[in-house]
Structure 1
Amino acid sequence: MSNPTAGRALRRRLFSGSALLLALTQLSACAEPPAQGPAASLPLASASVVAPALSSAAVPAAAAPQQSFAAWRDAFRREALAAGIAPATFARAFAEVTVDPAVIRADRSQPEFSRPIWEYLDSAVSPQRVHRGQRLLAEHASTLRAIEQRYGVERNVLVAIWGMESNFGSNTGNLSVIRSLATLAYEGRRPQFAHDQLLAALQILEHGDVQPQRMLGSWAGAMGQTQFIPTTYQRHAVDFDGDGRRDIWDSTADALASTANYLSASGWQSGQGWGMEVRLPAGFDYALADPEQRKPLGEWLRLGVRPQHPYNVVRDDSQLASLVLPAGYRGPAFLVQDNFRAILKYNNSTAYALAIGLLGERFAGGGQVVAAWPRGERPLSRSERIELQERLARSGFDPGTADGIIGANTRRAVRATQQQLGWPADGHPNHQLLERLRQLP
């Protein structure tokens, strides 16, 4: 949060720097162009849209282990056996398990540049994915109908998640979940989290749902066709095909029903959409584009907000919604509801949740974004986001930890600064704001 004294001081410093801004503008043509690439900061979640092929910057490494992997494994074995894991189960799971250097490298690197949200959505809602999803919706129609009836989650959303998480089951990961989690529990940045996931993975093996050689997934331990971590599997995986095993690896029915069960437990509202693209009236107060501003749809309508598509009919104007501007006021606007937030619990990224909503609509012929994305804008890189947070803090605001993650505190600090400048207060960090802050001593 900002304080009024800091805000007044910042305003004086910002506007007294106008001559310096002119000089910087004149000199900028001689400067070396900045690297291209980075990510949209997203209003409802802090996760960025990573482009793995681009360069990455190291993040702080975990403390060096104080014991050998063998000693750590033996101590963990004693704990696992005390928790009810059979010695034979542990022996099968850890047969020839060693530290995986690739997992350590993945855990300790963080991309410097991320993809803008419009590039992410172009890929996520590609014609190829849409066509394949439509075909699979027809192929699995009876199973999806039964899942809908039991859990109340619409089939198009389930198939969209299936497509996003594993390309409809074709890319579920090929790393041993036990080895990956053991590596992260021994030497990762979040050892307790990995430790808990590893114990849960052993309990899954103990239950007999899957054999160790088939328990494959990502370097972080996400598993199966819809990429559950082990504790999520324990709470929400179901045996929908009735074969006695909760098999999210090889049973599409189990994977999709488990996802529906998870969304249902996360607050999914049957018959309610995820949200809609909207157009905003002239003179709209962009400070209302905040996830903490939840208003009934009827109130948004009274403010002049209107759906972009005729098929987005507001039938219950008492439902709560928040306004999202994922690329700032220059880009598309979306009203999002409780089901959008349920998707965020699955993957805490606004870009991901938008992709799921739009892809699900595209299967039925909708889902086109009408407003133009600001494709000429270069979003901030990770180091630039960190610099912005540091400069906001130096100016008397509280953006939270300078970690490059644009969360609620950073958005509030950005919005307060924009208000001091008389700019549209959309809370969206960009180069214009960073350059203005760079003028300050």
Structure 2
Amino acid sequence: MKQVLLSVLGILLLNVPEAWAVGPDASARPPMRVVLATAQVDDGAATGFQQWIADFRPRALQQGITRQTFDAAMRGLRYDAEIIRRDRNQSEFTKTIWDYLDTAASDLRISNGKAALAKWEGTLTRIEAQYGVEKEVVTAIWGLESAYGTFRGGTQVINALATLAYDARRAAFFEGELLDALRILQSGDTTPDRMLGSWAGAMGHTQFMPSSFQRYAVDHTGDGKRDIWGEDPTDALASTAAYLKHFGWTQGQPWGVEVQLPEGFDYLQARRDLLKSPAEWAALGVLDPQGNTVPDHGQAAILMPGGAHGAAFMIFDNFEVLERYNTADAYVIGVGHLSDRIGGAGPIKGAWPRDDRALSFEERIELQERLTAAGFDTEKIDAKIGPLTINAVRRFQQAQGIVPDGYASLRLLERLRAL
């Protein structure tokens, strides 16, 4: 859905795409209730925004939006400066993977998840039977996206998307989302006053962006409407399962399994593009925490989101499916681990380097610039610690004779500064 939701959090918690959950940015964003801001807006912005709406109207009509739908939805909109401020500042906020997981799979979120599953078990069981996505996984996404429906967002989505579409930074993207939001209204799935969500336009119990809603939302209740906004979460939960099924969810396969690495493990093998069967990994000494071979759930890679001193995971194809909801490793591990805990599993056994702190936005930029200048090209200077930067870190670590675990830490940045 990140497409579904501005699916929006590697190694750092909020190192995520800017669009949210199912769609461009759903987010392992901490759930919060957002209301329309009251920030002061200069007359120029307000006037320009109203002119933009007038200019947008014929484009919308050419895309099949009726005059009645457009005028009813766009009447009375106001430029919201607070939304633009949030859009500009979101990349500044970072967390370590362990800090994120402390919240994502807290005792309270686990207990609330078990309660939500028990309350809606009949519905979730039917959804699982229809789409082949485990009810614990759907429940975990619900828990991370809206705290099981308690924080679905209070921002008027049409107003938010119009403000973002008027802004120059990602105008084309948000204009497309706005058109899809208008199509949702035109189809009768909801009304403008009920179309509430996040400041970035993510909506409902599981935070779908309008484009993802259009493609993947389903009417599971059979009432003729795909209602992801109301108190009944059925359509939202089924839509989430339909989304994951569309992208290839394999029933019965875990997202990942925690593993222990042997002494002397070749950390260059811990990369996403190196796949082996659990038996092949076991031959190299990679076993579950009890010392057993991981069951054969298919080809898998080894992921070390906290570096050589953090927990390690053997991840399967379903990990990549969850990335379609939100691309950040922290979010995927959060959903996966929360689903495991809701299902009765215990906590992660491996330790984390808790003395480390997350790199700031400026430090991540500096890290990429210094790596590239030193001959270890990250290919992008974007503050995102993704595969390109991780590989550059590995090459630098190899050259320095240190463990090539790809972990972008403050110590690594200090080593680069000392060159």
Q: TM-score, normalised by structure 2?
A: 0.88
1:283 to 247, 254, 264: 264
Rate the CA distance shift 1:403–1:178 in 2: closer, same or farther, 3 A.
Answer: same
Q: Is the 8 A contact 2:31 2:145 kept in 1?
A: no
Structure 1 partner of 2:173: 193
Give the fraction of aligned pairs with identical amino acids, expressed as a percent: 48
Structure 1 partner of 2:157: 177
Structure 1 partner of 2:255: 274
Q: Quote the offset at 1:316 in angstroms.
A: 2.4
Does structure 1 residue 243 correspond to structure 2 residue 215? no
Rate the CA distance shift 1:415–1:52 in 2: closer, same or farther, 3 A.
Answer: farther
Does structure 1 residue 119 correspond to structure 2 residue 64? no
Runs of 4+ deviating beyond 4 Å: 45-53
Q: Render the CA deviation track for 1:113-135: whole Å, top value 9, x for unaligned.
A: 52211111111111111111111
Q: Render the CA deviation track for 1:151-182: whole Å, top value 9, x for unaligned.
A: 00000000000010001111111111111110
- Mapping for residues 73-88 of structure 1, pairs under 5 Å: 73-88=53-68
Residue type at the aligned position of 2:99: E
Structure 2 partner of 1:107: 87
- Mapping for residues 2-41 of structure 1, pairs under 5 Å: 41=11
Structure 1 partner of 2:304: 325
Residues in 2 aligned to 1:140 and 1:110: alpha-carbon distance in whole angstroms: 34
Rate the CA distance shift 1:309–1:238 in 2: closer, same or farther, 3 A.
Answer: farther
Q: Is the 8 A contact 2:31 2:151 kept in 1?
A: no
Structure 2 partner of 1:405: 384
Structure 2 partner of 1:421: 400
Residue type at the aligned position of 2:317: D
Residue type at the aligned position of 1:380: L
Q: How well do the aligned residues superpose, as a CA RMSD in angstroms?
A: 2.3
Does structure 1 residue 294 correspond to structure 2 residue 264? no
Residues in 1 aligned to 2:238 and 2:151: alpha-carbon distance in whole angstroms: 19
Of stretches 346-355 and 69-78 in structure 1, the one that deviates more from structure 2 is: 69-78
Residues in 2 aligned to 1:170 and 1:125: alpha-carbon distance in whole angstroms: 17
SS in 2 for 1:372: coil
1:384 to 360, 363, 371: 363
Residues in 2 aligned to 1:401 and 1:347: alpha-carbon distance in whole angstroms: 20
Structure 2 partner of 1:255: 236
Name stretches of at least 5 consecutive residues in structure 2 with no aligned partner: 1-8, 18-26, 33-43
Structure 2 partner of 1:98: 78
Does structure 1 residue 141 correspond to structure 2 residue 111? no
Q: Is the 8 A contact 1:331 1:371 kept in 2?
A: yes
Structure 2 partner of 1:350: 329
Structure 2 partner of 1:56: none
Residue type at the aligned position of 2:56: F
Q: Quote the offset at 1:100 in angstroms.
A: 0.8
Q: Is the 8 A contact 2:184 2:214 kept in 1?
A: yes
Q: Quote the offset at 1:315 in angstroms.
A: 3.6
Rate the CA distance shift 1:205–1:52 in 2: closer, same or farther, 3 A.
Answer: closer
SS in 2 for 1:320: coil
SS in 1 for 2:279: helix
Does structure 1 residue 337 correspond to structure 2 residue 307? no
Residues in 2 aligned to 1:315 and 1:393: alpha-carbon distance in whole angstroms: 40
Q: Is the 8 A contact 2:12 2:95 kept in 1?
A: no
Q: Is the 8 A contact 2:31 2:146 kept in 1?
A: no
Rate the CA distance shift 1:113–1:147 in 2: closer, same or farther, 3 A.
Answer: closer
Q: TM-score, normalised by structure 1?
A: 0.84
Q: Quote the offset at 1:68 in angstroms.
A: 2.0
Residues in 1 aligned to 2:168 and 2:124: alpha-carbon distance in whole angstroms: 39
Q: Is the 8 A contact 2:10 2:384 kept in 1?
A: no
Structure 2 partner of 1:265: 246
SS in 1 for 2:392: helix
SS in 1 for 2:300: strand
Count residues in correspondence.
389
2:202 to 208, 213, 222: 222
Residue type at the aligned position of 1:345: R
Q: Quote the offset at 1:226 in angstroms.
A: 0.2
Structure 2 partner of 1:365: 344
Q: Is the 8 A contact 2:279 2:293 kept in 1?
A: no
